[in-house]
């Protein structure tokens, strides 16, 4: 999350009159993230997150908001969107599409252990199972077509060895039959900073919230698993921590068993997930957008992860 478009408190206070959530008490920009403008909003009746959508077409936004509402109805710890007095989730603020969601409790864990990975794996499987009954369909906005197109934009900024790596990976990914894999609604960005953790009365950690669904879409479920493993289970040099990966994948497999096709495609999906974030981060790094509070992440992290996934990965559970 970032702030590209500032919102004066007086403007927000007036905008909130169209909602039944009380009067504005505090507005605070959120500096983490890379795509939209985000704020913590506290009112006399509760705590919320306000998002101004900077680049997503307005016609695509109902998919994300209704997906969040759908998953919340199925008992997943997802922030439900707030409807205005016209019963609409999507409004307009500062000439941007805007939405409010409930602010969930907890904080991110950037150094997860085995219990964290196990719970994330089980939760992700539950998200995929609940998503099977979601009636809307919208392709993954960072899917294969986007990756191929973005590669051509980024390629001139890369040194020769990275251009060769990119060209070879695109050629490899073009040989993978993703259509043979189970598909459905995926989060597509389930990084550590998009999961909030609470501690229960017994001292055990539990997931308090899963946030930032604005890269979600319809794609292979295994791609979502690969995105998650690449972030939650990587060592500082980009290699895979076998124990953390096994904890996450075994917990997922217990809820939604992997198919034979998924077992065969696993190395390719880990590579595709690494390619996706190498490309998006390289775009943000070489072609930055102006903003008040903007986070740009290091693209080399996922370049290195891609190289290591090409070298080899542990198999999926069967």
Instruction: Look up the CATH number of the domain holding residue 286.
Output: 3.90.1200.10
Judge whether 202 lies within some domain.
yes
Of 102, 130, 161, which residue sits at a domain end?
A: 102
Identify whether residues 255 and 118 lie together within a single domain: yes
Collect the ranges in the chain with pLDDT lower than 50.
1
Phi and psi of 212, rounded to 5°? 60, 75
- Does residue 62 sit in the same domain as residue 171? no
Q: Which residues of 81-98 are buried (b: 16+ CB within 10 A; e: fewer)?
A: bbbbeeeebbbebeebbb
The 10s digit of each residue's pLDDT in 32-70 is 656 899 999 999 999 999 999 998 999 999 999 999 999
Does residue 69 lie within any of the structural domains? Answer: yes
Between helices 242-255 and 114-131, what is the axis angle to 10°? 30
- Does residue 318 belong to any structural domain of this protein? no
Q: Has residue 89 been placed in a domain?
A: yes
Q: What pLDDT does 2 receive?
A: 64
55 and 155 share a domain?
A: no
Of the candidates 79, 102, 125, which is a domain's last residue?
102
Q: What are the residues facing 3 on neighbouring strands?
A: 293
Pairing outcome for strands 47-52 and 37-43:
antiparallel
Distance between alpha carbon 268 and the CA centroid of its chain, in Å? 20
- The answer to the question of residue 316 being in a domain is no
Whole-angstrom Cα distance, residue 19 to residue 262? 45
200, two tokens? 């229960």
CATH number at residue 21: 3.30.200.20
User: Do 125 and 270 fall within a single domain?
Assistant: yes
Q: Are residues 232 and 253 in the same domain?
A: yes
Residue 233 lies in a domain: yes
Rounded distance between C-alpha atoms, residue 120 and residue 197, angstroms: 10
* Same domain flag for 169 and 294: yes
Could you say which of 50, 77, 102 is where a domain stops?
102
Considering the domain architecture, whether residues 98 and 120 belong to the same structural domain is answered as no
Kindly list the distances between the CA atom of residue 226 and the CA atoms of 121, 186, 306, in Å, as whole numbers in the listed order: 11, 11, 12
317 in a structural domain: no
Angle at 74 between CA 87 and CA 107, to 5 degrees: 90
The answer on 196 and 123 residing in a single domain is yes
Residue entry with tokens 């998919």: 63
Is the residue at 107 inside a domain?
no
Rounded to two decimals, the pTM is 0.94
Q: Yes or no: say if 12 and 93 are a contact pair by the CB < 8 Å rule.
A: yes
- Indicate the SS3 state at residue 107: strand
- Give yes or no: residues 92 and 179 share one domain: no
Distance CA 93, CA 82 (A): 15
Looking at residue 1, its pLDDT comes to: 43
Asked if 269 and 143 sit in the same domain, the reply is yes
The answer on 118 and 68 residing in a single domain is no
* Of 38, 40, 11, the residue nearest 98 (C-alpha): 38
The count of domains in the chain is 2
What does the alpha-carbon distance between residue 105 and residue 207 come to, in Å, rounded to a whole number? 9
The dihedral of CA 40, 46, 52, 57: what is its sign?
positive
Can you give the pLDDT at residue 318? Answer: 85
Contact 102/51 with Cβ under 8 angstroms? no
Length of the chain counted residue by residue: 318
What pLDDT does 294 receive?
58
| 125 and 86 share one domain | no
For residue 169, the enclosing domain spans: 114-311
Q: How far is CA 174 from CA 56, 170, 306, in A?
A: 26, 6, 16
Rounded to the nearest 5 degrees, what angle is found at the Cα of 42, between the Cα atoms of 39 and 45? Answer: 140
Q: Kindly state the tokens that stand for 176.
A: 């993978």
Report the pLDDT value the prediction gives residue 48, as an integer from 0 to 100. Answer: 98
- Residue 160 CA, distance from chain mean position: 30
| Terminal Cα-to-Cα distance of the chain (whole angstroms) | 37
Q: What is the pLDDT of residue 202?
A: 83
């Amino acid at each position: 999350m970032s702030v590209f478009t500032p919102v004066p408190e007086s403007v927000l206070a007036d905008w909130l009159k169209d909602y039944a959530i009380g009067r504005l008490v505090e507005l605070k920009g959120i500096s983490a993230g890379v795509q939209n403008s985000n704020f913590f909003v506290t009112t006399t009746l509760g705590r919320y997150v306000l998002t101004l959508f900077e680049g997503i077409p307005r016609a695509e936004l109902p998919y994300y908001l209704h997906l969040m509402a759908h998953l919340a109805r199925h008992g997943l710890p997802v922030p439900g969107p707030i409807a205005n007095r016209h019963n609409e989730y999507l409004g307009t603020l500062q000439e941007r599409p805007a939405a409010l969601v409930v602010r969930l409790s907890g904080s991110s864990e950037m150094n997860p252990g085995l219990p964290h990975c196990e719970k994330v794996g089980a939760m992700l499987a539950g998200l995929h199972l609940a998503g099977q009954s979601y009636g809307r369909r919208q392709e993954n906005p960072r899917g294969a077509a986007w990756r191929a197109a973005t590669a051509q934009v980024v390629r001139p900024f890369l040194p020769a060895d990275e251009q060769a790596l990119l060209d070879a990976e695109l050629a490899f990914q073009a040989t993978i039959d993703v259509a043979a894999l189970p598909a459905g609604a995926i989060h597509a960005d389930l990084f550590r900073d998009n999961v909030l953790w609470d501690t229960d009365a017994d001292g055990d950690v539990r997931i308090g919230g899963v946030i930032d669904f604005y890269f979600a879409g319809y794609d292979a479920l295994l791609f979502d698993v690969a995105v998650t493993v690449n972030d939650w289970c990587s060592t500082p040099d980009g290699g895979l921590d076998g124990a953390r990966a096994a904890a996450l994948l075994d917990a997922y497999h217990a809820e939604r068993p992997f198919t034979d096709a998924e077992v065969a495609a696993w190395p390719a999906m880990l590579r595709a997930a690494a390619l996706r974030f190498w490309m998006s981060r390289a775009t943000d790094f070489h072609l930055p957008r102006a903003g008040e509070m903007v986070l740009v992440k290091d693209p080399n992290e996922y370049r290195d992860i891609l190289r290591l996934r090409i070298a080899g990965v542990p198999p999926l559970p069967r």
